[in-house]
Amino acid sequence: MRDYPSNKRLLLFSGSSNTELTEKVAEHLGISAGDVTRHKFKNGEIHIKFEESVRGADVFVMQSCGDPVNDNIMELLIMLDALKRASAGMINCIIPHYPYARQDKKAEGREPITAKLIADLLTVAGIDRLIVVDLHTATIQGFFDIPVDHVTAIPIIANYFKTKNIKNGVVVSPDVGGVKRASIFASQLHLPLAILDKIRPGPNEAKIDHLVGEVAGREAIIFDDMIDTGGTICEAIDMLFKFNASKVYVGATHPIFSGNAIDVMQSTRAEEIVVANTLPIKKEFDSKRIKVVSIAGLLAKTIKKVYDCKSVSELFKGENLV
């Protein structure tokens, strides 16, 4: 951490991946996002220049590391390096969707732990604090030796489902690894929990083995942290209907939607698919089937708490979150 005294200027800048979210956050804060000039050389190298002084300021830079993942990561690292060399007082990095989070441990020999590699790259680039939304696994926080504010969109998504007035419902975790987050989501809605057990034959492949819990005659809400190809969710939907669920909804924080995932999800028997705007949805979709809730207010409140040196956890008091 640098020793430059903060002059209590709050500056917010956006990477190119999700400028719409940054603008909404700035609107909540009552400020304007700062100007950044960026271009690519013909060989693909990225050039960044901040168009105002950041010396001594508390800077927040936001970048959702979605598709193209590697370009967005590199752009973020270059932005952080520029801020460090421009003598920013504090560099706060906001990553609504943390990249490479699924590779958080070695499942077999000779594999990388890329979630830790990303943490190392961010630290070397110069961040003083990380703000991230719904990590794939909370243990990634331990990869950092700087403060990490791990905030969650669970209450926002849960509030949407409260408007559905689901009386005989059940929350379903699509795998054993997601039980904790699904349990938190279920507690928000005061609904019971069921669990689908799955195995992964290979990357982006999933096979569901069996169900723990009761879904027959109930309105089931599958809840996960992300939807990538949609394969796991589609199989979960089919399995729940085999177990005689009356309706099936889907909730997830991160809409990765790789390949034709949007078409796949819209062709399922699910009533609605509800996601947060941590990542931009770049393809057209049916807004009656896919609902997007905003985390801009949550991120703005988090930024304000950090800037004012107040507790971020106060945002979730009474929400039974960890």
87 within 8 A of 4, measured Cβ to Cβ: yes
Give Cα 195 distance to the centre of its chain. Answer: 22
In which residue are the tokens 């005294």 written? Answer: 5
Q: Is the dihedral angle over the CA atoms 158, 160, 166, 171 positive or is it negative?
A: negative
- Exposure on the CB side of residue 282, measured as CA atoms within 13 A: 12
Instruction: Provide the 3-class DSSP secondary structure of residue 177.
Output: helix
**Strand 219-227 to strand 247-255: parallel, antiparallel, or no bridges (unpaired)?**
parallel
- Give 140's DSSP letter: G
User: What residue type is assigned to position 23 of the chain?
Assistant: E
Q: Is the dihedral of CA 139, 140, 142, 148 positive or negative?
A: negative
216: exposed, middle or buried (Cβ count in 10 Å: 0-12, 13-18, 19+): exposed
Catalytic site residue from 198, 282, 288, 310: 198
Q: Which residue has the tokens 């070695």?
A: 106
CB burial of residue 5 (10 Å; 0-12, 13-18, 19+) = exposed
Active site residue 198: yes
Q: How many CA atoms lie within 13 A of 5 on its CB side?
A: 1
Bridge partners for 291 per DSSP: 274
Active site residues: 198
